[in-house]
Amino acid sequence: MKFPFHKVAASENETAELAKEFSLMLDLRDVVLLNGDLGTGKTFFVKHVGRKLGIENVSSPSFAIINEYHNKKKIVHFDFYRIKKVEELYDIGFEDYLNAGDSIIFIEWANLFPEILPKRNYRINFNFVNNSSREITISKNE
């Protein structure tokens, strides 16, 4: 996969295959920022990255704000959607997760608090094309 990457995924299967391909690039300390409207496939994408890493129980952290998963690699999965102010993220130890270096970090709705995000990241944007298709762009920022 070369960056910037762009694809119109015509089905959930194509999105799942893209997630599996992307998972092969990931290593500990990587931060993946996911942005897009509700229902565009952010959690679906993380779920399929997780499956490739041997994790079957990935779910949306919308209400919990953070979920952790362990198998071949540890995944920390944040959802900023319900966060009202950046101090809430500091209170739950966001910086500690970033500095630990023992996991791959996914952040849904990352665009809501850009001021606390690391400069080194993958940024994935999801946009509706129609009911079954999504435009997916991935960039790598070093």
Structure tokens belonging to residue 138: 């991935």
**13-27, 63-77, 126-140, range with the lowest pLDDT:** 63-77
Structure tokens belonging to residue 133: 């298709």
Mean pLDDT of 59-83: 88
pLDDT band at 64 (very low <50, low <70, confident <90, very high): confident
Please say whether the beta carbons of 48 and 20 come within 8 A. Answer: yes
Residue 138 clears pLDDT 90, i.e. is over it: yes
Question: In the CATH scheme, what is the code of domain 5-141?
Answer: 3.40.50.300
Q: To the nearest 10°, the Cα dihedral for 78, 55, 23, 113?
A: 0
| Whole-angstrom distance, CA of residue 2 vs CA of residue 119 | 19
What would the pLDDT profile of 4-50 be if each residue is shown by its tens digit? 999 999 999 999 999 999 999 999 999 999 999 999 999 999 999 99
Q: To the nearest 10°, the Cα dihedral for 8, 14, 15, 18?
A: -90
Mean pLDDT of 71-92: 93
Please say whether the beta carbons of 46 and 60 come within 8 A. Answer: no
pLDDT band at 57 (very low <50, low <70, confident <90, very high): confident
> Does the CA dihedral 127-94-61-16 come out positive or negative?
positive
Q: How far is CA 5 from CA 16, 69, 110, 136, in A?
A: 16, 27, 19, 8
